[in-house]
Amino acid sequence: MQPFTRLTAAAAPIDLPNVDTDRIIPARFLRKPQDTPGYDRFLFHDVRFDAGGAERPEFVLNQPPFRAAKILVAAENFGCGSSREAAVWVLAAHGIRAVIAPSLGDIFSQNCGKNGLLAVILPADAAAAVRRQLHATPGATLTVDLEAQTVTAPDGVIHRFEVDPFRKQMLLSGQDEIGLTLGYAAQIAAFEADHRASPPWLTAR
Amino acid sequence: MGDTMFEKIWARHAVAEGPGGQTLLYIDRHLLHEGSTPAFVRLARTGRRVRRPDLCFATADHYVLTSPGAPAPDAEIRTMVELLTRHTGEQGIVFFAPGDARRGIVHVIGPEQGLTLPGMVLVCGDSHTATHGALGALAFGIGSSEVEHVLATQTLWQRKPRTLRITVDGALGPGVAAKDVILAIIATIGAGGGVGHAIEYAGSAIRAMSVAERMTVCNMSIEAGARAGMVAPDATTLAWLQGRPFAPAGEAWARAAAYWTTLASDAGARFDRETRLDAAAIAPTVTWGTSPQDALPITARVPDPAATADAGRRQGLERALAYMGLAAGMALTDVRVDRVFIGSCTNSRLEDLRAAAAVAKGRRAVVPAWIVPGSGLVKQAAEAEGLDRVFREAGFEWREAGCSMCVGMNGETARAGERVASTSNRNFEGRQGQGARTHLMSPAMAAAAAVTGRLTDVRTL
Ligand code: SF4
């Protein structure tokens, strides 16, 4: 997994609340392997492109200052809905490395961490203030520092954020989580032996 | 002080405390479907094996066609089932394949087979896994990386969520279904109201529900943002489970049942949050917008964005109404529908089909209306009591089991601009097909819409 440490990059505002993962990647693209050429085009496909496949100029990621954004600053409950990890794969394919919002879908947020994307929760008013600055100065950059747990907004204000210590460690190191867990093989085996002995119906077939 | 049901199950499955306060949680059951393929591929690439194939069970649901005999519209769709067949075969995982009557929607067949049992931790790479919590299991949806992690280790690193108890007391009125209860709950707490929480549904209205109704409620926990939703096991649960193929039998059943009855939250247990609803105040409910929280009693009118002070919310409302093709202030009962979909892991069980058939009987569908049973066994049981005949005589289409138009991954989608009265769980933009418009409701309400061609208060039929 690609580690995440510190990133200074252009950010794009997404003002709509409750952006669901069906919107991030429509269901009909889920059968496309992640290495499909042009995978990035599936991102926000139905709001980003018209029926003829041409870009909709009003969509934020189609506007020149935001095309190269590596950070999204969203509204409440971004990434709600379906558990499809393709929502994160397609963001990553577009070059997005961090998503900032007042709240995020739980599964989406987990999925971000597994793919080297940093999910940041900021208070609603702070996130709204950052989005306003991005509208006022399109192409403005943010700095997201995972070690320090800070987001530096275009106006210079530094917002501190909380992050799960486990997630932080995994992202900073880029460690393979399954590899880590396999280091607990003895505990898992001991647990299984005990678990099987007490509720035998769990494994009875 | 006592423990909540959630805490009891969690504590029983904690293998180790890991770095940063996460718990390594043991997984009793792992359910798989066509969407699990990328996880199998990555696992194979790293040379790892499935640790406990005996605790994994797979079915084909999302990509199976529900119109028997029709050619797959696209080779990729066919490949999705073939890949699952291959991976489960290679790993020695039980697979309910096309042609097997036990095949069906993963959240229908798990409980139906007795694979889902109280006190278990059950996961599936699908956000509606909370459905299984209706039996008193801790069940939650996971992403593809987590699927791979469970395949390799039979565990998951999880941070303990907060607990939220939603108590619904009182009696439901006539024509009011479990679907109306969960839509009312989501409208009350919001689409993000349960984020970070495991929900326990409690109260006399939940206790009075059948297991199928409890599954409808738990199913849509994720639509309120919660990964898990659960109901304490009771006599209703046990009676429903006994004799299911994978449920314990004989002496093991007696021991299991004794354990399960200890799982309910203790009287003094404290929840991080509590919410209450009055069952008697819940009406047949429909959604009008593009988030499940956009739900109103069928007697209401389409909301007016101009009445909303907050600019962001106003914009959201305007966008939703534009997508849905609705005018502010119109009566919901004046909204005409183009088709009806009765199915999905929310509402495709035998009781759901009975409720729809009771409305369809002796009437005539005036728009295309599909009935898609949740499993092959649900279909057989419905046919045994003649429900298929009732539907066919009323002009409804009786189909094979699968996810079908809930998400349309198999190509069974609604057309752009089409308005669908649907018993599924998501009314997101494009969920049932690019440009399709979804109104969520109960099976009886969907059948009522089919016979009138508009959103209809089933109580007035
Ligand atoms: S019926 Fe719909 S919500 Fe349920 S598992 Fe299938 S696609 Fe997902």
Contact A175, A1 (CB under 8 A): yes
| Residue of B407, B281, B252, B63 lying closest to A81 (CA atoms) | B407
Neighbour-count burial for A128-144, b at 16+ CB within 10 Å, e otherwise? bbbbbbbeeeebbbbbb
Chain position carrying tokens 């009676």: B239
Read off the pLDDT of residues B217-231 as tens digits, 9 standing for 90 and up: 999 999 999 999 999
Q: What is the distance between the alpha carbons of residues B357 and B363, in angstroms, rounded to a whole number?
A: 10
Mean pLDDT over B245-255 rounds to: 93
**Binding-face residues of A in 22-41 toward B, CB within 8 A:** 22-23, 26-28, 30-34
Q: Indicate the residue type of B192.
A: G
- pLDDT above 50 (res B146): yes
Mean pLDDT for all residues in chain A? 95
| Dihedral angle of Cα B423, B426, B427, B429, to the nearest 10 degrees | -140
From chain A, the residues in CB contact with B195 under 8 A are 77, 103-106
Q: Indicate the residue type of B55.
A: L
Mean pLDDT over A21-29 rounds to: 97
* Yes or no, beta carbons of A178 and B46 under 8 Å apart: yes
Cα of B441 vs its chain's centroid, Å: 13
Contact A6, A168 (CB under 8 A): no
- pLDDT above 90 (res B387): yes
* Yes or no, beta carbons of A201 and B248 under 8 Å apart: yes
- pLDDT above 70 (res A205): no
Read off the pLDDT of residues B57-110 as tens digits, 9 standing for 90 and up: 999 999 999 997 777 678 889 999 999 999 999 999 999 999 999 999 999 999
Mean pLDDT over A12-37 rounds to: 96
Contact A171, A146 (CB under 8 A): yes
Mean pLDDT over B266-281 rounds to: 97
Mean pLDDT over B14-39 rounds to: 95
Contact B31, B150 (CB under 8 A): no
Contact A15, B397 (CB under 8 A): no
Query: First CA to last CA across chain A, in angstroms?
Result: 38
How many A from CA of B87 to the centre of ligand 1? 21
Mean pLDDT over A16-36 rounds to: 96
Q: What is the pLDDT of residue A34?
A: 93
Q: What is the distance between the alpha carbons of residues B203 and B181, in angstroms, rounded to a whole number?
A: 12
Q: What is the pLDDT of residue B68?
A: 73
What is the token pair recorded at B273?
Answer: 């949050």
Kindly indicate the confidence band of residue B20, based on its pLDDT and cuts at 50, 70 and 90: confident
| Residue of A197, A192, A185, A183 lying closest to B55 (CA atoms) | A192
Q: Indicate the residue type of B399.
A: R
Kindly indicate the confidence band of residue A195, based on its pLDDT and cuts at 50, 70 and 90: confident
In this predicted structure, which of A109-113, A178-182, B309-313 has the lowest mean pLDDT?
B309-313
What is the token pair recorded at B453?
Answer: 């061609």
Q: What is the distance between the alpha carbons of residues A3 and B327, in angstroms, rounded to a whole number?
A: 49
Q: What are phi and psi of B437, to 5 degrees?
A: -115, 125
Contact B156, B122 (CB under 8 A): no
Q: What is the pLDDT of residue B186?
A: 98
* Yes or no, beta carbons of B157 and A182 under 8 Å apart: no
Q: Could you count the other beta carbons within 10 Å of the beta carbon of residue A99?
A: 23
Kindly indicate the confidence band of residue A199, based on its pLDDT and cuts at 50, 70 and 90: low
Mean pLDDT over B36-43 rounds to: 96
From chain B, the residues in CB contact with A115 under 8 A are 145
Q: What is the distance between the alpha carbons of residues B456 and B336, in angstroms, rounded to a whole number?
A: 9
Mean pLDDT over A114-127 rounds to: 98
Contact B4, B109 (CB under 8 A): no
Residue B35 CB contacts under 8 Å (≥ 6 apart), including other chains: A30, A84, B62, B125, B126, B144
Mean pLDDT over A173-177 rounds to: 93
- pLDDT above 90 (res A202): no
Mean pLDDT for all residues in chain B? 96
Read off the pLDDT of residues A35-66 as tens digits, 9 standing for 90 and up: 999 999 999 999 999 999 999 999 999 999 99
Q: What is the pLDDT of residue B311?
A: 82
Residue of B nearest to A114 (CA): B145
Q: What is the pLDDT of residue A203?
A: 53
- pLDDT above 80 (res B119): yes
